[in-house]
Amino acid sequence: MENPADILNAQQNSIIDERVIQLSHIQDDYITQHPELQQILNDFITELLNHKPQDITTFAREYFSKSSPTPSLNPLALIGPSGVGKSTLIKALMNQFPGVFEFSISSTTRKPRGAEQNGVEYYFITKEEFKSKIEAGDFIEWAEVHENYYGTSKAAVEDIKSRGKICILDIDVQGAIKIYDANIEFNRVFVMPKTIKDLEDRLRGRGTDNDDTLRIRLRNAELEINTARSNPSVFPHFITNDDLDEAYKDLLRLIYRYYAHLKR
């Protein structure tokens, strides 16, 4: 069959070429004038990857048919080795968005450090109390870290969501895997040190560890980083906390993707 372009004369072909170029400029201009388009597409891809539906067409139809999407209140987890700066980043986030996020206070069997208070940084409970809560199924995740137990109470997380706030979790790799395996929807950011040596300096600077606990923390840090790197579905997003301002900017970029309703 003859190609239609062969039937047209040279002048007609050049008019068509010009029109194609014009159209492509008009489309580029339109896209440049509407940066929200990129944001909407990014949000859609994030939502798609969070759910990974088999039927993408139906998922897309439902996603775009919601006239005003309900703001996501899925918990936000900062995950990473001890001393990497999770609490520091969480504090910065809560300062920037007062009343939006609420920290879920974990329970632990470790002893309070310095001025830490029960019900503020952690609920400090005994090993016996902790074990009976595990038996009762009170935790969405719990883990034994550095010879102590840490856990996140189901009730605490649900209570924060029921009050319209985004629950922030400061958890370790084992905890994140448990929540993921329980099919609970939550956003996950893994915070990396620049190097293990940097982490060691930071932990020494914090001054809360003796040489033995420091060694355990550093060994666990390497294990956690390796586990996170080899589980991209549980740990889809990494930020590196070298320069704090840069790390915070990287965190904010993810926050605006997860919680599109938050004002920049």
Residue 107 touching ligand ATP (CB under 6 A): no
Q: Which is nearer to ligand ATP, 22 or 195 (CB)?
A: 195
User: How far apart are alpha carbons 156 and 122 in whole angstroms?
Assistant: 12
Closest Cα to residue 175, out of 113, 245, 124, 108?
108
Residue 169 touching ligand ATP (CB under 6 A): no
Give the residue carrying structure tokens 């870290």.
145
**In DSSP terms, which residues pair with 150 in a beta bridge?**
108, 143
Catalytic residue (choose from 19, 61, 204, 206): 206
Q: Which is nearer to ligand ATP, 28 or 201 (CB)?
A: 201
Q: Which amino acid type is present at position 12?
A: Q
- 107, 122 in Cβ contact below 8 A? yes
- Residue 206 annotated in active site: yes
Supply the DSSP string of 143-155, one letter for each residue.
EEETTEEEEEEHH
- 239, 250 in Cβ contact below 8 A? yes
CB of 83 to ligand ATP, least distance (A): 4
What dihedral angle (degrees, nearest 10) is formed by the CA atoms of 103, 149, 50, 75? -10
Closest Cα to residue 139, out of 125, 257, 73?
125
Residue with the CB atom nearest ligand ATP in the bound state: 85
* Contact set for ligand ATP, span 67-86 (CB under 6 A): 80, 82-86
**Angle formed by the axes of helices 211-229 and 173-181, to 10°?**
40
Residue 58 touching ligand ATP (CB under 6 A): no
Residue 106 touching ligand ATP (CB under 6 A): no
Residue 153 touching ligand ATP (CB under 6 A): no
Residue 194 touching ligand ATP (CB under 6 A): no
- Residue 229 annotated in active site: no
Q: Which of 14, 58, 87, 226 is in the footprint of ligand ATP by CB under 6 A?
A: 87
Residue 199 touching ligand ATP (CB under 6 A): no
| Residues in binding contact with ligand ATP, number by CB under 6 A | 14
Residues with a catalytic annotation lie at 113, 206, 217
Using CB under 6 A as the criterion, which residues of the chain lie in contact with ligand ATP when the complex forms? 80, 82-88, 202, 205-206, 241, 244, 247
